[in-house]
């Protein structure tokens, strides 16, 4: 913890030094300006609305991506017919979520649905991929044991495949939550009327760089907290890995 | 004590992993009677584990067939359960959950856990169990479905000498009290002689039955049996054919 604080102070020192030496004060705010802006924004209700809007979009998009990613990952890993369709997933996977924004706006318009869709795309692929590879790499011994005890298909998927894959699913979710958060900001920069991405975009146009940095700072902190939240859920849900 | 009912019959069993190379074994025939404990002894690579996998239904013989109570088998099933060399427990389930997955009979589950000395560890995950406890759990899970026939594939191979001796006695008690026909696959002479009513010695290329030796001693057997002259004379006989 002490090391982390020292490193943070060091980085802040470097920032302040760069601000002083490189004469970028017209473009970048000082540390004091950032702190003032932080206090001002936290006393403004609209700032909370922006944070809440982004969180809500991440929550909905990430939840749908988790459900769809896990279900399809298991289905594609378990069933040979679906496994042959993975070609199409692989075709879509390299397309960055930001490239979908124009298409999302055309289909869903300038609203929350477009953002949900972009967040979904950002989180879906890591969750799907982790789940899929976990299912196909499951040791054969578990399959044989399940067959020997004549465990039914549904029970096998629910009690064996799903729980074997759960730690790997969480790995995908940890990557996915980061991607979801990055995607929502990207979506809000272009196609939203609220949220932290919208807040940054608006302040960029108004040349209020102190607010832009505050927006970035809050994005980083919330991203970190979301990642820790997934860690916590993983610890509670997978006690056998302790 | 001999019963004439044949539980397992292997008829002209041949197996090859690749048709271009010579078979591992060819024309193998043997029977296992009701409540009989038979060990299959052979050097590494002679196909003992392959034989266990065929008996369990994990692998299909190239030719010949396995009959369990006069019924030909083609896939794994509850009438014969293989306790594997490697850890075949579901690591994400507690001791009691591992058994509950295969049977709903709570009374049986409790009595089996007590029989195996695992009742106090019923809520522990396999990771928290010792090597011997894991093997006992694997064995009582197999017994929970009341199979006609048990297959033990080198279940003591990963254990130290002392744990192994104790566990052999415990397993002898558990199996004899459950009156199960059992096949033990091993390369350990002491283990085979201590537990078995009959030892089948495999050898040659392709592998064939070289000799069958009877061991007439009641179960459960005490540790003193290991020091008896009869035990040593049987070992001597096996050594001559091994």
Q: What are the tens digits of pLDDT across the range B89-120?
A: 999 999 999 999 999 988 889 988 988 889 99
Q: pLDDT (tens digit, 9 = 90+) per residue, B168-191?
A: 888 898 888 888 899 999 988 999
Q: Does A141 touch chain B (CB under 8 A)?
A: yes
Cβ A97 vs Cβ A120: under 8 Å: no
Chain A residues 158-197 with CB within 8 Å of chain B:
159-160, 163-164, 166
What is the nearest CA distance from B241 to chain A, expressed in angstroms?
33
- Residue A166 resides in a domain: yes
What is the mean predicted confidence (pLDDT) over B28-41? 93
Number of domains in chain A: 1
- Residue A213 resides in a domain: no
| Structure confidence at residue A24 (pLDDT) | 60
Residue B4: which pLDDT band, with cuts at 50, 70 and 90? low
Q: Which residues of A touch B82 (CB under 8 A)?
A: 144, 148
Q: pLDDT (tens digit, 9 = 90+) per residue, B55-66?
A: 999 999 999 999
**Helix A209-237 crosses helix A196-205 at what angle (to 10 degrees)?**
170
Q: Which residues contact B11 (CB under 8 A, 6 or more apart)?
A: B29, B64, B65, B66, B67
Nearest C-alpha neighbor of B100 from the set B122, B80, B121 = B122
Q: Would the pTM of this model clear 0.90, i.e. be above it?
A: no
| Structure confidence at residue B23 (pLDDT) | 87
- Residue A214 resides in a domain: no
Give the long-range contacts of residues A77-86, CB within 8 A, separation 24 or more: A77/A131, A77/A132, A77/A133, A77/A134, A77/A135, A77/A136, A77/A161, A78/A135, A78/A157, A78/A161, A83/A136, A86/A132
Whole-number Å distance between alpha carbons of A226 and A119: 14
Question: What range does the domain containing A71 cover?
Answer: 51-190+224-241
Q: pLDDT (tens digit, 9 = 90+) per residue, B207-223?
A: 888 899 999 999 999 98
Q: Which residues contact A167 (CB under 8 A, 6 or more apart)?
A: A234, A238, A241
Cβ A238 vs Cβ B124: under 8 Å: no
Going by the DSSP 8-state scheme, the letter that residue A195 receives in this structure is S
The bridge status of strand B181-186 relative to strand B37-41 is parallel
Cα-based distances in Å from B219 to B55, B171, B175, B197: 24, 11, 9, 9
Quick check: A148 and B82 CB within 8 A?
A: yes
pLDDT surpassing 50 at residue B3? no
Going by the DSSP 8-state scheme, the letter that residue A159 receives in this structure is I
The interface predicted TM-score (ipTM) is 0.86
Q: Does A154 touch chain B (CB under 8 A)?
A: no
Q: Which residues of B touch A141 (CB under 8 A)?
A: 84, 86, 88
Secondary structure of chain B in HEC code, one letter for each residue: CCCCCEEEEEEEEEECCCCCCCCCEEEEEEEEECCCEEEEECCCCCCHHHHHHHHHCCCCCCEEEEEECCEECCCCECCEEEECCCCCCCCCCCHHHHHHCCCCCHHHHHHHHHHCCCHHHCCCCHHHCCHHHHHHHHHHHHHHCCCCEEEEECCCCCCCHHHHHHHHHHHHHHHHHHCCEEEEEECCHHHHHHHCCEEEEEECCCEEEEEEEECCCCCCCCHHHHHCHHHHHHHHHHHHHC
The bridge status of strand B208-214 relative to strand B63-68 is unpaired
Q: Does A144 touch chain B (CB under 8 A)?
A: yes
Query: Looking at residue A185, which CATH number applies to its domain?
Result: 1.10.3720.10
Quick check: A148 and B77 CB within 8 A?
A: yes
| Helix locations, chain A, DSSP H | 2-21, 31-42, 45-78, 80-83, 86-92, 101-108, 112-136, 140-148, 153-155, 162-191, 196-205, 209-237
Reduced to 3 states (helix: H, G, I; strand: E, B; else coil), residue A152 is: coil
DSSP-assigned states of every residue in A60-75: HHHHHHHHHHHHHHHH
Q: Is the link from the previous residue into B13 a cis peptide, with omega within 30 of 0?
A: no
Please state the separation of Cα B185 from the chain's center in Å: 6
Strand order in the sheet with B198-203: B80-83, B149-153, B181-186, B37-41, B198-203, B208-214
| Structure confidence at residue A25 (pLDDT) | 59
pLDDT surpassing 60 at residue B1? no
Q: How many CB atoms within 10 Å of residue A26?
A: 7
| Structure confidence at residue B205 (pLDDT) | 84
Nearest to A164 among B56, B92, B145 (CB): B92
Residue for token pair 């088998």: B73
- Residue A37 resides in a domain: no
- Residue A123 resides in a domain: yes
Cβ B181 vs Cβ B142: under 8 Å: no
| Structure confidence at residue B156 (pLDDT) | 82
Q: How many CB atoms within 10 Å of residue B100?
A: 18
Interface of B with A (CB under 8 A): 56-58, 75-78, 80-82, 84, 86, 88, 90-93, 101-102, 125-127, 145
Strand order in the sheet with B63-68: B25-33, B6-15, B63-68, B71-72
What is the nearest CA distance from A158 to chain B, expressed in angstroms?
11
- Residue A25 resides in a domain: no
- Residue A200 resides in a domain: no
Reduced to 3 states (helix: H, G, I; strand: E, B; else coil), residue A234 is: helix
Query: Testing the interface with A: which of B73, B74, B76, B138 to mutate, by most A Cβ within 10 A?
Result: B76
Nearest to A160 among B78, B81, B90 (CB): B90
- Render each residue's pLDDT in chain A as its tens digit; 242 residues: 888 889 988 988 888 888 777 766 567 788 888 999 999 999 999 999 999 999 999 999 999 999 999 999 999 999 989 988 889 999 999 999 989 989 998 998 888 899 999 999 999 999 999 999 999 999 999 999 999 999 999 999 999 999 999 999 999 999 999 999 999 988 888 878 899 999 999 999 998 999 999 999 999 999 999 999 999 999 999 999 98
| Structure confidence at residue A116 (pLDDT) | 94
What is the nearest CA distance from A154 to chain B, expressed in angstroms?
13
Chain A residues 193-222 with CB within 8 Å of chain B:
none
As a whole-number percent, the residues of chain B with pLDDT over 70 amount to: 98
Q: Does A240 touch chain B (CB under 8 A)?
A: yes
Whole-number Å distance between alpha carbons of A151 and A129: 26
| Cβ–Cβ pairs < 8 A, chains A and B | 53
| Structure confidence at residue B76 (pLDDT) | 93
| Structure confidence at residue A123 (pLDDT) | 96
| Structure confidence at residue A23 (pLDDT) | 62
Whole-number Å distance between alpha carbons of A153 and A165: 16
- Residue A175 resides in a domain: yes
Whole-number Å distance between alpha carbons of B13 and A232: 54
Whole-number Å distance between alpha carbons of B221 and B185: 19
Q: Which residues of A touch B80 (CB under 8 A)?
A: 148
């Amino acid at each position: 913890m002490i090391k982390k604080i020292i490193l943070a102070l060091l980085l802040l020192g470097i920032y302040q030094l760069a601000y002083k030496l490189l004469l970028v004060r017209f473009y970048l705010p000082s540390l004091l300006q950032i702190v003032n802006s932080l206090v001002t924004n936290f006393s403004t209700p609209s700032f909370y609305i922006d944070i809440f809007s982004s969180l809500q979009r991440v929550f909905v998009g990430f939840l749908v991506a988790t459900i769809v990613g896990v279900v399809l990952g298991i289905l594609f890993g378990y069933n040979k017919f679906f496994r042959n369709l993975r070609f199409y997933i692989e075709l879509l996977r390299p397309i960055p979520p930001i490239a979908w924004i124009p298409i999302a706006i055309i289909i869903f318009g300038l609203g929350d649905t477009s953002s949900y869709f972009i967040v979904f795309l950002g989180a879906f692929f890591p969750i799907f991929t982790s789940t899929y590879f976990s299912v196909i790499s499951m040791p054969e011994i578990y399959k044989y044991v399940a067959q020997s005890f004549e465990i039914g298909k549904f029970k096998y998927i629910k009690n064996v495949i799903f729980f074997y894959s759960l730690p790997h699913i969480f790995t995908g979710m940890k990557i996915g939550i980061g991607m979801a958060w990055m995607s929502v900001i990207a979506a809000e920069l272009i196609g939203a009327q609220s949220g932290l991405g919208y807040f940054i975009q608006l302040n960029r146009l108004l040349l209020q760089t102190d607010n832009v940095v505050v927006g970035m700072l809050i994005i980083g902190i919330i991203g970190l907290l979301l990642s820790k939240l997934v860690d916590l859920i993983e610890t509670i849900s997978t006690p056998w890995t302790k | 004590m001999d019963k004439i009912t044949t539980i397992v019959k292997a008829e002209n069993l041949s197996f090859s992993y690749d048709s271009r190379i010579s078979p591992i074994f060819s024309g193998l025939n043997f029977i296992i009677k009701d409540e009989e404990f038979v060990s299959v002894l052979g050097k590494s690579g002679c196909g003992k584990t392959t034989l266990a996998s065929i008996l369990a239904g994990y692998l299909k013989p190239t030719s010949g067939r396995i009959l369990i109570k006069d019924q030909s088998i083609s896939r794994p099933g509850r009438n014969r359960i293989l306790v594997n060399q490697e850890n075949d427990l579901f690591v994400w389930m507690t001791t009691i959950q591992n058994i509950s997955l295969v049977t709903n009979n709570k009374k049986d589950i409790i009595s089996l856990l007590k029989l195996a000395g695992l009742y106090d560890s019923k809520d522990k995950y396999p990771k928290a169990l010792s090597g011997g406890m894991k093997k006992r759990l694997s064995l009582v899970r197999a017994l929970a479905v009341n199979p006609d026939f048990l297959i033990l594939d080198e279940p003591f191979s990963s254990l130290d000498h002392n744990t192994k001796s104790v566990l052999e006695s415990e397993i002898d008690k558990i199996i004899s009290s459950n009156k199960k026909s059992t096949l033990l696959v091993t390369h350990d002479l002491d283990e085979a002689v201590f537990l078995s009513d009959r030892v089948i010695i495999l050898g040659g290329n392709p592998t064939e039955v070289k000799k069958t030796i009877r061991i007439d001693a009641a179960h459960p057997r005490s540790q003193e049996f290991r020091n008896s002259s009869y035990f040593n004379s049987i070992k001597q006989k096996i050594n001559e054919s091994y």
